[in-house]
């Protein structure tokens, strides 16, 4: 019900608006024709001006997920610690909290999110708040609220305040009728999960806001992302993270996908590098607003064989989860990312052998693997 009430209030504000997003504030606010929302008359703004020659002021929503903490670390090295604000609705670990600015931010609370953007003079926004594929199927109403209603809040605020907005899309934005090997940037999508539907919605809404309001919207379709810094989080490709943890802890791995299920994958460092590169790319170099990016493609069986070079005694069994298998079977086996490589020079660094070596170098230093080696 709070979501309904929030949407009702937003609709009421829109109906009462005079058609301009400038409101009656004493500071200039970008006018985008028919504003998605009316600027409240009691809005509180900082009077400090922001110079375009300065570093961007960055906000990351959903920052405690798989990618947010690593992205914050990369951006803080680039732009300065205090110019990058991490946010989430969960309590951060001490090492995250003390590593740089952190703010509680609920993307379903439009007013609070808008205040954060205004009071901190945010110029770049990375929107990572989302429920992933398998988790979303288990709670469709929550996924719809977070992935779609939250997206609308972010789009409206980004357009109103002239932000450069990054929203990640995913392999899950494709469906069983999409080309699978490879999937191009532009093709039939038609996903069959609420996660995939919400990501296609984000791609299309972001592009619409770009052409309708001039929003600087940028989007990458991520393959499965593999990271040593986070535990599996409910995604269909998370088996490729779990196998490393299980190999180290127990020497036994039970995979929920069939051994020959091939999917595109990427090591997290490549993912974060691509995200920063597309955000820094000159607008005139971008021929589209949503790009595929890719690094490698493998199956659980091929990954297990590579892992067994480090843990020869690893026992791998397959107990197929029909829900996740159906999701994986509807996704591409490979991505065509030639447009990203042509337009802004995308190039990956990690293939499968480098990925496995790097994962074990992070996870295995104090483990049975180190003792074996």
Catalytic residues: 195
Contacts of 360 (CB under 8 A, 6+ apart): 244, 310, 369
| Cα dist from 87 to 27, 28, 40, 65, 117, whole Å | 26, 26, 24, 10, 12
Helix (H) or strand (E) holding 269: helix 268-280
End-to-end Cα separation, the chain, in angstroms: 57
Distance CA 26, CA 19 (A): 18
If you count them, how many residues does the chain have? 373
- Residue 53's φ and ψ, nearest 5 degrees, are -80, -15
Rounded to 5 degrees, what are φ and ψ at 229? -90, -10
Paired residues of 298 in beta bridges: 263
- State residue 108 phi and psi, 5-degree precision: -85, -10
């Amino acid at each position: 019900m709070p979501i309904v009430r929030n949407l009702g209030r937003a609709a009421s504000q829109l109906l009462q608006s005079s058609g301009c997003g400038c409101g009656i504030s004493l500071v200039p606010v970008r006018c985008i024709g028919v504003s998605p929302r009316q600027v409240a008359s009691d809005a509180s703004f900082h009077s400090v001006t922001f110079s375009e020659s300065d570093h961007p002021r960055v906000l990351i929503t959903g920052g405690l997920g798989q990618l947010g903490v690593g992205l914050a670390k990369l951006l803080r090295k680039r732009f300065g610690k205090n110019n990058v604000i991490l946010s989430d609705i969960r309590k951060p670990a001490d090492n995250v909290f003390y590593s740089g600015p952190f703010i509680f931010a609920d993307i379903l609370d439009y007013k609070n999110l808008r205040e954060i953007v205004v009071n901190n003079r945010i110029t770049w926004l990375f929107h990572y708040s989302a429920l992933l594929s398998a988790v979303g199927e288990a709670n469709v109403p929550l996924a719809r609220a977070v992935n779609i209603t939250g997206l609308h809040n972010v789009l409206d605020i980004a357009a109103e305040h002239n932000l450069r907005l990054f929203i990640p899309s995913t392999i899950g934005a494709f469906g069983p009728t999409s080309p699978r090997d490879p999937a191009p940037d532009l093709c039939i999508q038609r996903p069959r999960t609420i996660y995939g539907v919400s990501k296609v919605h984000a791609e299309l809404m972001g592009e619409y806001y770009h052409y309708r309001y001039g929003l600087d919207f940028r989007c990458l379709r991520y393959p499965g992302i593999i990271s040593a810094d986070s535990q599996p989080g409910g995604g269909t490709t998370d088996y490729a993270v779990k196998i490393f943890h299980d190999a180290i802890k127990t020497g036994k791995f039970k995979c929920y996908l069939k051994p020959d299920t091939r999917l595109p994958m990427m090591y997290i460092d490549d993912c974060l590098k691509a995200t920063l590169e597309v955000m820094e790319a000159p607008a005139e170099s971008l021929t589209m607003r949503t790009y595929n990016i890719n690094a490698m493609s493998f199956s659980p069986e091929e990954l297990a064989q590579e892992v067994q070079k480090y843990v020869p005694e690893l026992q791998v069994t397959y107990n197929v989860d029909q829900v996740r298998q159906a999701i994986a079977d509807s996704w591409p086996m490979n991505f065509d990312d030639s447009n990203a490589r042509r337009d802004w020079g995308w190039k990956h660094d990690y293939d499968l052998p480098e990925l496995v070596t790097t994962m074990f170098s992070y996870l295995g230093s104090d483990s049975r693997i180190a003792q074996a080696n």
